[in-house]
Amino acid sequence: MTGRKFFVGGNWKMNGDKKSLGELIKTMNAAKLNADTDVVCGAPTIYLDFVRSKLDAKIGVAAQNCYKVAKGAFTGETSPAMILDCGVKWVILGHSERRHVFGESDELIGQKVAHALECGLGVIACIGEKLDEREAGITEKVVYAQTKVIADNVKDWSKVVLAYEPVWAIGTGKTASPQQAQDVHDKLRQWMKANVSEAVASSVRIIYGGSVTGGTCKELASQKDVDGFLVGGAALKPEIVDIINAKA
């Protein structure tokens, strides 16, 4: 046993309304979830208060983004302080959609990670290569560079979960094979050992994201360096319960 507690994050993205999310929350609250798995739901900002008030206390809630400072003239942004004020303890940062749709740089993501951690939020920090980068054989170069910017901004690794999400597998129905996922997770752990510390390398949770379903989760979960999942589309469906219980 690794001693790393399995972690499943559901990233609801820009989906749902009070009615549909309320139904999903009822399903999750009533489900028998593996007590040895940490579960966190990433809700749209406008519903953070609603979701935190309805969801069973044993299930965590995450914001899907935050800004790098506590307050100020930043129209449309949300600060870690505001997220915490809603009783929410986690934030997802560096998701490929933030990087590639909204143009967030590695530097900005690093600044956000530093500020969120300083404020006491747990951070699900995302990294991952695009299809052309994988095909060019530079997967490691890309994910190491992204990980370095995150690592440079972390003092307490116990509050960080690293999410490896190959961009070519997000929402495409393509999943990295269990072996492909394990291979990158193993290399990331080796990078952490060389560049952070052996203790952090063995304790940090590295989760996989990219078209994870009830059908693919068990085999992925059996890989020794896959410590859980960040789930997109399937997180809005009842099958999220099967994914949470992949290690049961």
Name every residue whose Cβ is closer than 8 Å to that of residue 102 and which is 6 or more positions away in sequence. none
Condensed to tens digits (0 to 9), the pLDDT of residues 111-163 reads 999 999 999 999 999 999 999 999 999 999 999 999 999 999 999 999 999 99
Q: Give a yes or no: residue 1 inside a domain.
A: no
Q: Give a yes or no: residue 218 inside a domain.
A: yes
The pLDDT value given to residue 138: 97
Give the HSE-up count for residue 146: Cα atoms under 13 Å, Cβ half-sphere. 26
Cβ neighbours, 10 Å, residue 239: 17
Q: Give a yes or no: residue 50 inside a domain.
A: yes
Would you put residue 156 in left (φ > 0), alpha (ψ -120 to 50) or beta? beta
Q: Give a yes or no: residue 34 inside a domain.
A: yes
One-letter amino acid for residue 207 of the chain: I
The pLDDT value given to residue 173: 86
Q: Give a yes or no: residue 167 inside a domain.
A: yes
Q: What percent of the chain has pLDDT over 90?
A: 96
- HEC secondary structure over 123-165: EEEEECCCHHHHHCCCHHHHHHHHHHHHHCCCCCHHHEEEEEC
Name every residue whose Cβ is closer than 8 Å to that of residue 230 and which is 6 or more positions away in sequence. 9, 11, 92, 124, 126, 163, 165, 207, 208, 209, 212
Tell me how far the alpha carbon of residue 186 is from its chain's centroid. Answer: 18
- The four Cα atoms 236, 64, 183, 235 give a dihedral, to 10 degrees, of -10
57 has pLDDT over 70? yes
Q: Give a yes or no: residue 57 inside a domain.
A: yes
CATH number at residue 175: 3.20.20.70
Condensed to tens digits (0 to 9), the pLDDT of residues 174-205 reads 889 999 999 999 999 999 999 999 999 999 99
Q: Which residues are catalytic?
A: 95, 165
Average pLDDT, the chain: 97
DSSP 211: S
Structural domain for 46, as ranges: 6-244
1 has pLDDT over 70? no
The pLDDT value given to residue 147: 98
Q: Which of 74, 76, 106 is nearest to 93 (CA)?
A: 106
Helices (H), the chain: 18-30, 48-54, 80-85, 96-100, 106-119, 131-135, 139-151, 178-195, 198-203, 217-221, 240-244
Confidence of residue 171 (pLDDT cuts 50, 70, 90): confident
Q: Give a yes or no: residue 75 inside a domain.
A: yes
Q: What percent of the chain has pLDDT over 70?
A: 99
In angstroms, rounded to a whole number, what is the distance separating the alpha carbons of residues 162 and 94? 10
In angstroms, rounded to a whole number, what is the distance separating the alpha carbons of residues 246 and 248? 6
Q: Give a yes or no: residue 66 inside a domain.
A: yes
Cβ neighbours, 10 Å, residue 91: 25
Tallying the residues shown for the chain, one arrives at 248
Cβ neighbours, 10 Å, residue 52: 19
Total domains in the fold of the chain: 1
Using DSSP's 3-state secondary structure scheme, residue 231 falls into strand
